[in-house]
Amino acid sequence: MQPLSLAGPWRVTPSYDPATRALPVEARPMTVPSNWYQQGWDQHGALWFARAVELPAGAAAWRLELDAVDYQCDVFWDGQRLGSHTGYFAPFSFTVPNTSGAHVLAIRVDSPLETARNWSLHKTQIKGVLSHHDTRPGGAWSADGQDASTGGIWGGVRLAPAQTAWIDRPRVTTLRASAATAELQVTAEVTPLGAAPAAVRWHVTSPIGATVASGDWTGRGRLEVSVTVRSPQLWWPREHGAAPLYKLHLSAGADRAATRFGIRTVVRDDNSRYRINGVPVFLRGTNYIGSLYLATLDRAVIQRDLDLMLRANINAVRVHAHVTSPAFYDLADELGLLVWQDFPLQWGYDDSPAFAQEAARQLHDMLELLGGHPSVIHWTAQNEAPWSSEWMTYKYPLYDPDQNRHLSAVLSAVLATDPSRPSQVNSGSAEHAWMGWYSGSYRDFARPQAHPILTEFGAQALPTLTTLRTILQPHQLWPLDANLAAWEYRNFQKHELTTIAKVQLGGSVEALIANTQAYQARLIQFAAENLRRQTWQPVTGIFHFMFVEHWPSMNWGIVDYLRTPKPGFSALRRAYQPVLAMAYPYQKGALRLHVANDRSKPEDVLIVVTRELAGKITYRRRVAHRLRASAVSAVDGTLARPAANETLRLVVTDLRNTPLSENVYAPGYFAE
């Protein structure tokens, strides 16, 4: 028998008594899956979802499976409580009485506001950026920062039949891998329906569907099997090879389960380099929040975003302080994109032992849910925990510099249960390089860096005027100060823009758009190039902040909420080319060249240097150079700096004159 999908219209009401065993009369329809804010219901707190269900005959058992509910829910079947669940991203299930015929299913979903006492330093809901962030409606620090609830049944809902056993959480972990053999560990949870143990048949198929390993297992509880695959097709990140996916199949009688996986190893070596299958990979990353309303992130939307990332030469994505749609991880596996996965803890949380244990439970759920994806190469448990964030002294009068240390200790123990990939308990301010926006100047990126991984850098920029007109009312576009509250609600930061970045507002909204976009693009180019110039000394990975604006707002995205790229997108695309020639001031009036090669093979190349004025070439030079594998190398000699009104262009070609990359420095870039 096939599972019975319960997607479609449900009845929704704020008040309902499931003991009536009848559908609510005064209710409005709502599509499931969805987030209720996207369905026109703007509220925090609880809503009841109900629908009629016709349970077929013929199965030995049935259970209700829910892929994701935000945030807490209680489930009732014909008025009887089946159970409850807390947490917005993990799937869960309840066995239902096996009585065929008509039934009433009711689910109370609660997505409450944090209390005034807890908001925002002692939060109790594990929702990360879905509940507290600078890119949310209202921003991070206003009284409106919890607006626009993400509550709802946003994942799939179904009734699943079984005849012999439930087979849950199938996973394959690569223990060791080479071109000759791969040693794998297969795990699953097996729950027989009766007293007898279940006889489980398993087999592994290659990317073309051929069986490469098989076997039998009998028992109940945790299935663990060691598997050897000969001559495996290794999973590689882009630029290093293909991303082939194998499949694990398990069956107990007529009951089945399956999961895809890739064969690859990942370690972080003593120099903080990420090695995939032994090969060092420099992480050219971005931070990503596709949407707060995860039901809207279907495969087509995710595909569009990831295609844009690939166009921008991004090879790694930090899912910023949340767990996103399952389609994202599936597509990352298929495309060879690396994923730096954050647990949804953003800034400060309740310091009680009870909260720490709940966070540990949900972190374990995340490791189980996403641990089988070859794209996921790193876990982070919390972003900017209070104990690592001295800047909170200026935000919170009662700031405690030791807050959440116990929480971090508890989460560290959970992370240790997955030795198959690197992890860290906290992404602290030390790895968030906000020069040119929250402090200093963007030119500070030219200084030697102390931290090998920088997981945030960037600046805000307005979208195009066409997009901005869909965000603000016509009268709110200008003058700025008269409408600043509307702009700030949509994440605009005037103080940082004018006081630290020193961007001129200009005399019109058109001028402000141009000025902010030019500044964002300049900072991105300067920061990314200077960080890549320090490849392995000590920098091993960088993550720009932020890829896309996930709601009608104006913040750090290089792509606006309508998915229109800003000039910062082109700047990142150039700066993230796998092979990139970079110029930087060396001595007064002179430049030096470095060439980054993120590919794993050396190569002889030519660098074509031109200076241009008003579209005409004023200087041209060809330089032969030997690229080192997975490294940055200095080019012998120096170049004269271009005049203030000249453009400098660096083109790298192979010896057959096939272009490998092009870099451009606009007039004035090297102004002293």
Number of Cβ atoms within 10 Å of the Cβ of 247: 15
Model confidence at 302, in pLDDT bands (50, 70, 90)?
A: very high
Secondary element (H or E) of residue 300: helix 299-311
pLDDT at 672: 61
- Res. 320 pLDDT band, cuts 50 70 90: very high
pTM: 0.97
Domains of the chain and any CATH numbers: 4-161 (2.60.120.260), 164-267 (2.60.40.10), 268-457+535-574 (3.20.20.80), 579-665 (2.60.40.10)
Percent of the chain topping pLDDT 70: 100
SS3 73: strand
Q: Find the mean pLDDT for residues 61-88.
A: 98
CB contact set of 422 (below 8 Å; sequence gap of 6+): 266, 267, 268, 274, 377, 378, 379
User: And the tokens for 162?
Assistant: 């079984």
The C-alpha atoms of residue 179 and residue 99 are separated, in whole angstroms, by 53
Q: Determine contact, residues 334/243, Cβ cutoff 8 Å.
A: yes
Token pair for residue 361? 């439970």
Residue type at 208 in one-letter notation: I
Strands 603-613, 647-654: pairing kind: antiparallel
- Quick check: 596 pLDDT over 80? yes
Tell me how far apart the alpha carbons of residues 372 and 170 are, in angstroms, rounded to a whole number: 8
Q: Are 359 and 410 in contact (CB under 8 A)?
A: yes
Q: Largest Cα–Cα distance of the chain, in whole Å?
A: 85
Burial track 135-165 (b if 16+ CB lie within 10 A, e otherwise): bbbbbbeeeebbbbbbbbbbbbbbbbbbebb
Q: What is the pLDDT of residues 133-149, one digit of tens each?
A: 999 999 999 999 999 99
The pLDDT tens digits for 107-121 are 999 999 999 999 999
Q: Report the pLDDT value the prediction gives residue 589, as an integer from 0 to 100.
A: 86
Q: Taking residues 291-305, what's their average pLDDT?
A: 98
Query: Strand 181-192 vs strand 165-177: parallel, antiparallel, or unpaired?
Result: antiparallel
Pairing of strands 72-77, 101-111: antiparallel
